[in-house]
Structure 1
Amino acid sequence: MTQVGEGHETAADGAGPVMTFGASTAGEILAERYQLEDHVNNDSAGRQVWRGIDVILRRPVAVVLRHPGGDSATEMLQAAVDASRVIHPNLVGVYDAIDEGERAYVVREWVDGAALRELVGTNGPMDPPRATAIAHSLADALAAVHATGMVHGNVHPGTTLIADDGRVVLADARADAADSTEADVRAVGGVLYYALTGRWPHAEVGRSALPDAHRDAAGTIAAPRQVRAGIPAYLDDLTMDLLDKRVTAPDAQSLAAELARLDAADDDYEDVGPLRFTQSGSVEPVRSTRKIALGIAALVVIALIGLVFGINAISNTDKGKPSGTTQAGTSQPGPNAGTNSNGNPGTAAPATAQKIPLTASMVRIVDPPNGDRADTGEAAKTVDGDDSTGWTTQGFYSSKFGGLKPGMGVLINLGTPRSVSYVKVEMSAPGVTLDVRTGDSDPGDNRAGDDAIVKGYKKINDDETTNGPEKILTGFDENTKYQYVLVFLTELPRGDDGRYRIGVNNIEVYGN
């Protein structure tokens, strides 16, 4: 049986508290038309919710009673009148609103089914496609409400009803002067977060009796992917952007269009592309933008390498050497003495190192505890020889991984102990702080193993922040052989969307 009317704790009628006297009884007929059948529950504003029968039209109805009526019920009745003007398949139909002085009541559509709050509370979080479809329905309903100039004001898992036939219906509008269309849209993000995690983000979208979202010591909310594995990165980003007031919220029509695109993808989110909110609701067909960005970064790297070749060629020609000659014994042009390819002093790549071949089986992602290990397998893209692919971290709400973990990295197993001179890392953007660490073994591709690596591996160089797409990491002892090398990211740059993330496009190890 549906749990009609369970909304925000703060959504109680503003004109005064709901009284408990004058309780109605089963069998009573209101306004000579609406017969009360069963008392379903009291909503979060303290009002009684009944299942009833319209004895004239012989159809089931939901009846919401408030004691007393009069001036104290004005807000409830006005919200019902406003809602009755909007007809939409994802909005509960409002049939009547009556004030009898000692009590007031709203009569509306009865939905056979259950509230999202009840379903998730009983069965646990939903799969991503189902959560997406629910959010899509809510956004459609809000677009219709907002088009009339009205605000819903009570988007919540308790007012999101899932009918037995699968229809999603939004009920119990309670907007007041403090509510806004933006708050409605962000609340869709809250419902999406709840559907995916079973938690409600109190600080971001309003207090509720539901359990609060997981947070770190600073109060920063954990992203759905950090709570539960298997949530696509795109859906994770969309949810967190809706909850982040630093990110401009779209209008309901634009959100509905974006969710429709994702909803149509079902569970295949691989190529849905980046967020494409527009304030007109139109959506331009953009595909594989991330790959384009990575490709541009690769072109920049190629240009830099070409520049180094050119400088060496000019230098060698001045010394009477043939144009294009590289430093002896190198498989790559050697950086100038005392600098790396970014022009930073003190991290020059040794001139005689040879590139050590790396394969997918030799690398893996290290994601310490509090990470969801959702990036497992992505490390292979950093050694596939294709600069247009790579491992891209999730988006975080602070540069240091949202305070959830000390960092993330790529562990390289060279197979046997080798002499290592330096590691070259190519990334999608500058501003990354990273280091290189070494150890004696890989304790296991699991949470415990990752934790042991981060705690036990020795850092052999100082933290370095990149000012270009490429970084040379040195610090290896020429008299020591290494088998396990960890490239570890400790601070991320901020992207255009306000989230902190980086793409690691290519990793190369040089030694003998």
Structure 2
Amino acid sequence: MSACARGHPAPNTTDIASNTRDIARNAKDSAPDTEVCTTEGGLVTQVGEGHETAADEGGPVLTFGEPTAGEILAERYQLEQHVNDDSAGRQVWRGIDVVLRRPVAVVLRHPGGDSAAEMLQAAVAASRVLHPNLVGVYDAIDEQERAYVVREWVDGESLRDLVAAEGPLDPARAVAIAHSVADALAAVHATGMIHGNVHPGTTLIGDDGRVVLADARADAADSTEADVRAVGGLLYFALTGHWPHAELSASALPDATRDTSGSPAAPRQVRAGVPAYLDDLTMDLLDRRVAAPAAEAITAELSRLDAAAEDEEFEDVGPLRFTQAGGAPSEPGRSTRKILLGVGALVVIAVIGLIFGIQAINDSSKPDATPSTPAQVDPGGQPGDAGTASSAPLGNPVKIPLTADMVRIVDPPQGDRNDEGESKFVVDGDPDTSWKLSYYLQPNFGGRKEGMGVLIHLPQPRALSEVRVSLSAPGAVIDLRVGDKDPGNSRDGDKAIVSSYTKLSDADGADANTGDKQILNGFDPDTKYQYVLVFLTKLPRNEDTPGYQVNVNEIELYGY
């Protein structure tokens, strides 16, 4: 895009050279023939199609001495054809810059003067940011009676018109469009400015595939956060054909489908085939309880998704797990995790050896109490007393065999329960398989839920010693909880577990264990347990990609 921007004074002080005026006076006869780009149903939308409100829908129509085709503005811009009136009552024309011989879009407002100051100031500000995904702003002129902004003409259509014609877009295309818009916003925000009008009507898709954001209208009420959340709105609209009014702005577009609480239904609930991660990202951006990230972070996240789509891996990456999908892009991250896992394993072996060494010293009166005892005892052994556990010394703990039918994922009601069935990977004894949690924009699961965990259901109550958790990275916060029943594998059942189970370890305490090998304890030696919940409440920052995420590689339960 060639976008030269300049401040243009009113015509009575215009700086256009006299020879330019001569060219312009003859432009009507010499301008090249042009063809207005059309779509099925009429002229394509160009600019000026942003947020609508109830008042805007019946907004004023420009009726001052109507501009006419062939009229030349500022002795340079010849009007060719009226395209449409935008939601603010401004006229949008296709025109020709008779000096540079290029098509332009001209947005006219009546009157000019003070009432047009905001439009002109926004145009001047936008002209200072040159970016391939921002529409080029060429001129901003105030004639008092009327004012107009001259911009790049884009052969194509708006996202609003595209979805209206074709229906909701496939996830890969939705991501590509949102990625371009987020990249443009990052450039705008880097200058300290705000766009203030990110909307399906101001998101233009050129016939050449280029995506551009048009018609900045920032005022004192706008913010960078609102711009970023609107990217979530674009994703939601592209995936569902609906625009979330309450979360973003009132619009003539249909509102989001809502549940009984008034919350918008997630894209995955509206249509099939939306990847879990894209669904999570979209809803996090719309949820004002979740802190909005910077535009740069969203750009990086969407860039990663966009690349996955280009490599035809988009459908396989799963919820926020692209770097762990098969293929070359995953290998560097995977290798790093393996190195960390190996180093962590050596550390935990030393720690465990120290723990058992201390236990061996304490139990030195027992001839069979050695640090290697756990590996030599029958794993299926039971405590000598089949009744309640005794407060007498029980010997060294042994690893209790856990199978897939003894564990399940617990995801509170706010979760999407997409991880169902992955609990088997934490008890299969294979360090290369794991429960891969989704990525979130905040460490506390995006502020959307208390946490997630694995419920262990033993066949019968046992005296327990500790739980050992192997993770893909340090920094996760985990607590240990116990209860007397499993209310059921459902949203209500998981809610009851999280609210009723008793905490045995304080995940928020000063001594919280946050390494990649965690040992959780707090079991009462005089009590037998059958239901144990290993519950993650905070996620570590992922070093390979933006966001917070961790994999649970193995969970081991030790008892007597």
TM class, shorter-length: 0.5 to 0.7
CA distances 1:119-168 after superposition (whole Å, capped 9, x unpaired): 45676654443333223322443455567775544333331112233210
2:519 is the alignment partner of 1:470: yes
For the pair 1:304 / 2:346, whether they are aligned, the reply is: no
Q: List aligned pairs for 1:485-496, cutoff 5 A.
A: 487=533, 489=535, 492-493=537-538, 495=540
Matches within 5 A, 1:97-246: 97-120=140-163, 126-142=169-185, 145=188, 151-176=194-219, 184=227, 187-188=230-231, 191-192=234-235, 195=238, 207-209=249-251, 211=255, 230-231=274-275, 233=277, 236=280, 240=284
Q: Which has the larger radius of gyration?
A: 2
1:278 corresponds to: none
Displacement of 1:187 in angstroms is 4.9
Task: Give runs of aligned pairs for residues 427-438 of structure 1, distance below 5 A.
Answer: 428=471, 431-437=477-483
Letter in 1 for 2:198: V
Residue of structure 1 in register with 2:63 after alignment: 22
Q: Distance in 2 between matches of 1:398 and 1:215?
A: 25
Are 1:31 and 2:72 counterparts? Answer: yes
1:295-334 pair list within 5 angstroms: 301-317=348-364, 324=371, 326=373, 330=377
Query: Given that residues 114 and 161 in structure 1 are in contact (C-alpha distance below 8 angstroms), is that contact kept between their aligned partners in structure 2?
Result: yes
Q: What one-letter code is carried by the residue in structure 2 that aligns with 1:373?
A: R
**Aligned partner of residue 492 in structure 1, secondary structure:** strand
User: SS of the counterpart of 1:263?
Assistant: helix
Q: Pick the aligned partner of 1:378 from 402, 422, 432.
A: 422
Residues 478 and 538 of structure 2 are in contact (CA less than 8 Å); yes or no, is this contact kept in structure 1? yes
Residues 441-493 of structure 1, C-alpha deviations (whole Å, 9 max, x = no match): 97xxxxxx52464478899962333443223586899999x7xx57363x713
Please tell me whether the aligned partners of residues 292 and 388 of structure 1 are also in contact (alpha carbons under 8 angstroms).
no
Partner of 1:78: helix, strand, or coil?
Answer: helix
Structure 1 Cα separation of the partners of residues 431 and 71 of structure 2: 71
- How many pairs align? 468
8 A contact 1:420–1:510 mirrored in 2? no
The one of 264, 267, 276 equivalent to 2:307 is 264
**2:136 alignment counterpart:** 93
Aligned to 1:50: 92
CA distance in 2, matches of 1:461, 1:104: 67
**In 2: Cα distance, 1:348 partner to 1:455 partner:** 37
Residues 78-128 of structure 1: per-residue CA shift (max 9 Å, x gap): 333444455543222334434332322223333343323444567665444
**Separation (CA, whole Å) in 2 of partners of 1:27 and 1:348:** 99
Equivalent residue letter for 1:113: G
CA, structure 1 residues 495+2, in 2 after alignment: closer, same or farther (shift >3 Å)?
Answer: same
Cα pair 1:309 1:324 within 8 Å, conserved: yes
For the residues of structure 2 that align with 1:168 and 1:458, how far apart are their CA atoms? Answer: 45
For 1:367-400, what per-residue CA distance to the aligned partner results, in whole angstroms no more than 9, with x for missing partners? 4554322213421321122457532544668998
* Alpha-carbon RMSD: 5.5
Distance change in 2, residues 1:188/1:67 (3 Å) = same
Which digits, 9 at most, give the CA deviation of each residue in 1:277-313, with x for residues without a partner? xxxxxxxx97246666666665554343222221133
Structure 1 residue 169, shift from structure 2 partner: 0.9
- State the alpha-carbon separation in 1 of the partners of residues 352 and 468 from structure 2: 13
**Aligned partners of 2:499 and 2:394: how far apart in 1?**
20
Which deviates more, 398-407 or 48-57?
A: 398-407
Q: CA deviation at 1:321?
A: 6.5
Compared CA separation, residues 349 and 234, structure 1 to 2 (3 A): farther
Equivalent pair of 2:45/2:157 in contact (CA under 8 Å): yes
Counterpart secondary structure, 1:365: strand
- Give the C-alpha shift of residue 192 in structure 1: 4.5
Q: 1:171 Cα deviation (Å)? A: 0.6
Q: Does 1:410 align with 2:458?
A: no
Q: 1-side partners of 2:269 and 2:434: how far apart?
A: 21
Secondary structure, counterpart of 1:265 in structure 2: helix
TM-score, normalised with respect to structure 2: 0.62
Q: Aligned in 2, Cα 1:178/1:403: closer, same or farther, shift over 3 Å? A: closer
Cα shift at 1:425? 5.0
% identical equivalent positions: 50
Report the Cα distance in structure 1 between the residues aligned to 2:108 and 2:290, rounded to whole angstroms: 39
Structure 1 residues not aligned, in runs of 5+: 274-284, 335-345, 443-448
Kept in 1: contact 2:391–2:525 (CA 8 A): no
CA pair 170-451 structure 1, distance change in 2 beyond 3 A: closer
Specify every segment of 5 or more residues in structure 2 that has no aligned partner in the other structure, as ranges. Answer: 1-43, 325-330, 382-389
CA–CA distance in 2 between the matches of 1:77 and 1:231? 41
Task: Please give the residue correspondences for 1:3-18 in structure 2 after superposition, counting only pairs within 5 Å.
Answer: 4-8=47-51
> Secondary structure, in 3 states, of the residue corresponding to 1:162?
strand
Aligned counterparts of 2:169 and 2:495: Cα–Cα separation in 1: 35
In structure 2, distance between residues paired with 1:348 and 1:40: 86
SS of the counterpart of 1:424? strand
State the match for 2:19 in structure 1: none
CA distance in 2, matches of 1:347, 1:50: 84
